[in-house]
Amino acid sequence: MTSTTDGTPDGTADGTAGDVVLVLLDHLEGRLRPTSLELLTLARSLPGAQVHAVWSGPGPDGAALAVVGAHGATTLHRVEVEGADERTTAAAVDALVAVVGAAAPSLVLVASTFEDKEVAARLAVRTGGGVVTGAHGVERTGDGWLVRKSVLAGSWGTACAVTGRLAVVALSPHAVRASALEGAAPPAVVEHRVEASAAARAVTVVSRAPRPTGDRPPLAEAEVVVVGGRGVEGDFTAVEELADVLGAAVGATRVATDEGWIGHEAQVGQTGVTISPRLYVGAGVSGAVHHRGGMDASWTVVAVNSDPDAPIFEFADYGVVGDLTEVLPALAAELRRRRG
């Protein structure tokens, strides 16, 4: 069952025809994640797009609605999935399927996170859409959508054409810079109530425990990341000091996590977290192909390594050959000095 606040018929919420782009909003306790604002910014930049957003679960409040409108959405679909925990991926897919049926989008944008990539795959199966993950750009073509992404540890750039009725695209964090529009109105709200699917009902959440967090941003979403590798020799003090000065997240190579120098949740690479920060600083990182596969989408790469032949210098934008225990503290001190 679907109901709307403004009485418009099923289809686009304002009753007009157009190229609807649907954005899944990720939120935590009513607060939008930065990746959602990036998705909205990209969506509104697409020529002729009508930007619709999907909010599953309680909320949003007036402040969140204003933020969604300021970043380009004209319609917000708030979906209540009855009979399931709305925070599971299966329930998120139920919400999206309902809105896809009502709004008839040609493109659905989600964040390229572990959870949302699963959502994208499930949605594509249920709707017959074409799915592309890890994207860094989307363009409209005459017969569909063209999605750009890097593959093979960043050694190749590809263009993936989705020619079917629906494209489901998972966009990498920081692929675009989020920006707000001045004077934009809050979006119209369309209410939906849907029955949970068998897949969503099959999941029972018995408890939740928040992941311990500090003052640093989440690794996958951080705009700046400082990574320590084998060269730190078990001591992440200099890495963490520089990260705190930069307001950055701390990452690590597989060697560092396997040695127990830092938790496995900090691992960056093909078997760890894939990141795409605006600034990546690698300290004592060799730049092996499996690590590069998880960070090659970084906008600017700075490498500090005592080995002038380290592979990371082959693709770094800036390189410093030196002892990281001397270079990183000196860099942190200089940054503090310049900031007064």
Mean pLDDT for the chain?
A: 90
Higher pLDDT, 161 or 28: 161
Helices and strands in the chain: count of H runs, count of E runs: 9, 16
Confidence bin at 92 (pLDDT 50/70/90): very high
Tell me the mean pLDDT in the region 7-23. Answer: 54
Confidence bin at 280 (pLDDT 50/70/90): very high
> Domains of the chain (ranges plus CATH)?
19-201 (3.40.50.620), 219-339 (3.40.50.1220)
Percentage of the chain beyond pLDDT 90 is: 75
Phi, psi for 273 (deg, rounded to 5): -90, 135
pLDDT surpasses 90 at 340? no
**Is the CB of residue 107 less than 8 Å from the CB of residue 21?**
yes
pLDDT surpasses 60 at 17? no
Q: Which uninterrupted H or E stretch holds 158? A: strand 156-162
pLDDT score for 4: 39
pLDDT score for 268: 95
β-strand partners of 161? 146
Report the DSSP pairing between strands 130-141 and 27-28: unpaired
Handedness of CA 250, 254, 258, 261 (dihedral sign): negative
- Please identify which residue in the block is written with the tokens 């909010």: 55
Give tens-digit pLDDT for 233-242: 999 999 999 9
Cα of first residue to Cα of last residue in the chain, in angstroms, is 59
pLDDT score for 29: 79
Give the tokens for residue 113. Answer: 């996170």
pLDDT score for 151: 80
Give tens-digit pLDDT for 160-174: 999 889 999 999 988
Phi, psi for 134 (deg, rounded to 5): 65, 30
Give tens-digit pLDDT for 314-337: 999 999 999 999 999 999 999 999
Tell me the mean pLDDT in the region 107-133. Answer: 95
Q: Check residue 273 and report its DSSP letter.
A: B
Percentage of the chain beyond pLDDT 70 is: 93
Give the tokens for residue 276. Answer: 């795409």
Tell me the mean pLDDT in the region 37-50. Answer: 95
